Structure 1
Amino acid sequence: MGDLKAKIVAAVAKDLEKIEGRLEANLTPELALVREIGGHILFSGGKRLRPLLCVLLYRSLGGRDAFVYDVAGIFEFLHAATLIHDDVVDEALRRRGKAAAHTLFGAAEAVLTGDFLLARSLNLAARTKNPEIIATIARITEDMAQGEIEQLRNKGNLGISEASYDRVIERKTAVLIAGACKTGALLAGAGEGAVEAATRYGRELGMAFQMADDLLDYTEDEKTLGKKPGADLREGKATLPLIHTLASGDAPLCAFLKRIAGTDFTEADFLRAREGVIGAGGLDWTLKRAKRHVQEACLALDNLPGGEEREILALLAEYALGRRH
């Protein structure tokens, strides 16, 4: 996976540089504190996947205007806003290996900066003067908020179904990635079929990426994740590895997992939980589900023009299955 990541980064290095430059240029609040808080999350090492997808889909469908780098920033501003808000809601202490914004600047200040970032994304959408793009961004914002609310209501409920889990991660993760791809296609003036294919690719890729995140919470260490592993279990969130384990594991294991979920359990408890999830096939099942979504994403690409951009999009789908933070 290291070689694959290096290949992708080399292919998109110039695009990433331009995306970074436009993010800097468009983070222009009147208050210095808002820029400091926004910059704390925006420039803390994010992968820029969402804006990159917007650029790649735009160019693959014939777009050539540099304005795409401003439009692509919509999705990083939206993503950063949700991370700030999520950390406040979850009372998280770390994000990307750094102190969460609300722990440094205060919860009220962090939430209001998240609101500013949401507004800035809508401002950029309005600059396209494309009603479909504006409507897409508005719908994404609605869906992400509802996904977060549903996840919050499910907190501590370990009996949720896979269908409920799918609905939450589609709203929280997949709609933003799908929207980035759709916006790139719309900005390029693509036809309905191409817009639909781009959207489907993004949706399937988003589902796979979230499932990969759920795997990382059980398989990686604190240095790699930038936060303690097992965070979802500590917060009482039923992600796919746990949902499958509780449906197929033995009674003693299930009782143990239910007892420690939502508590600040010990490292020994986490190791026992991880071994149990692995033994019950929770990680294998999650990987299998993620692979299906990657396959669907690649099938969607078959409906888009060939070329370098489509090859990179296929590599990104492959990378989703074995990535590390």
Structure 2
Amino acid sequence: MSSISSYTDADLLLLPSPRMLTLFKGARSASNDVAVVNAFLTLYEDMSVIRLGGDLIFNYLSKAADKSRSDMELQARGIGEVIGRTLSTEEIAAGMGVFEGIDVNKDGEISREELEVKGEGMLEVFGEDFDVDDFLDKYGKRGNKKSRGVRNAFKGGRGEKGDIPGVVFQEFMKALIEAIDDSDGTVTIEEILSTWDKECAGGGPGGEAKDLCVVEGEREMERERKFTAMLEQVKMWEDAGVRSEGRSGVILRGCYAGLKNQEVVGALRIVYTDYKALRLAGDLIFKLLKVAVGRGGG
């Protein structure tokens, strides 16, 4: 599990799904908790299904993280060519956080409507007189001299679809860097991200963050309820001061530690609801813990 901890949040930005990101962050967080690691190692040694499932998930996450990291490096080089200088993956990650928050429909470009609803406050860094139309005219991918321009497109109606420029991520980063350069050091990407978080992130469509661990369908909901019930039982054991000895004690202490870590809980919730073999293993582990707790030893 040690190599999991070598990936930064910026490395993981281009993972293919939010659930995979939740899985990875949970595994990374677990790898930094001695009690959780010891519990996993005990289960890994004792249960073949944990070995097979753990290896499968580890390899799956590692390959996806390697690709995400590589894609981020390519993204950094591409943006560097556009803006004429190299950016760190952390700077790109900050810019991507703003971009993806404004890009409500996740089509890879920011439209006029999305800027008006989610991003107008961010434009303050460009100056008091800089508005949505100015931004789209300057940085929109179709906002050039050959097009009618965004102002003309909206004069007396929307005009043709191709007349309305959208801003892709590379141009968005170019805009942020130009704003920073023009500010003589008084504006940073981190400040822009903070401003957007405070003023813009909560409003408009998509303003409320979706719970990445929510599952749909009656069968999935039943798994969710069962997992939650097990968490509550483990919490009751800890609150009551229940302890166990031997290998079951190692596992129980790992459960207590993991319960306090929301990233670990989120990852385990996905593992339990999505992977049948590991769900069955989880049920068996819980039953064995109940027996060990009942007899007060391992």
Structure in which a larger fraction of residues adopt helix: 1
- Which structure would you say has the larger RCO, counting Cα contacts within 8 Å and 6 or more residues apart? 2
Q: Larger Cα Rg: Structure 1 or Structure 2?
A: 2
Q: Answer whether TM exceeds 0.5 for this pair.
A: no
